Structure 1
């Protein structure tokens, strides 16, 4: 399995995820949420930031089902999906992940034929990794 590569700006995202919390970085001055995390607000150029909890609800903005898998380590898991989820309470933020049948379920646990653009999803966590289930 791939592991997230953390940096100083993104490390809190993964720390919260390891606790089962979905949080996004936001500007502490103008309150604009942003992802990926970065040191400076792209809207007001402030360097002040905070991590705000979000509901974990969203919708599938886009998705793909790789055929064949692009990474050899994922061949046994095919077919699997990769989704881009637009967060309900921060619609300018879109997170990459997978739709699974439930927390801890394998990547190929959700029939790709059941995924549609606009489908409502909610976050679940497996080993500190945010994943999505159809809501």
Structure 2
């Protein structure tokens, strides 16, 4: 599976390390050494205290905080819908807006455990983190 027909994310100097790590199969978060906040979306300065942040690697596990199922997306091929759009709360605390893959919409629920996986794009330095259910067996 590839990310297309979705747009490939823009890479900026501030997010380059995040996207390269994703292309290597690693999910990075920012962590503030001053106030202790671990956060996502990648940015150099902590959104709470404006200290310079450090990069940490996430375990890539969490749970579905909330979700919605999109059945029609203008211009997208039918085989790419429905799309499960979700906020996933990582075990480290931050919430990411993402997609849940590898599950039927009827099989997804709030509180379900998920783990990160990555979808390649046409840019070899960019992969997109998405989440798949963790089997309870």
Structure number with greater CO (CA < 8 Å, separation at least 6) is: 2
In structure 1, the partner of 2:118 is 125
The count of corresponding residues between Structure 1 and Structure 2 is 123
Which of 99, 102, 114 is matched with 2:107 structurally? 114
Measure the CA separation in 1 of the matches of 2:42 and 2:130.
19
Q: CA deviation at 1:95?
A: 1.1
Q: Which stretches in structure 1 are left out of the alignment for 5+ residues?
A: 102-109
Q: CA deviation at 1:37?
A: 2.0
Alignment RMSD (CA, Å): 1.6
Aligned residue runs from structure 1 range 2-17, under 5 A: 2-17=7-22
Measure the CA separation in 2 of the matches of 1:12 and 1:124.
17
In structure 2, the partner of 1:100 is 101
Measure the CA separation in 1 of the matches of 2:82 and 2:107.
13
Query: TM-score scaled to structure 1, two decimals?
Result: 0.81
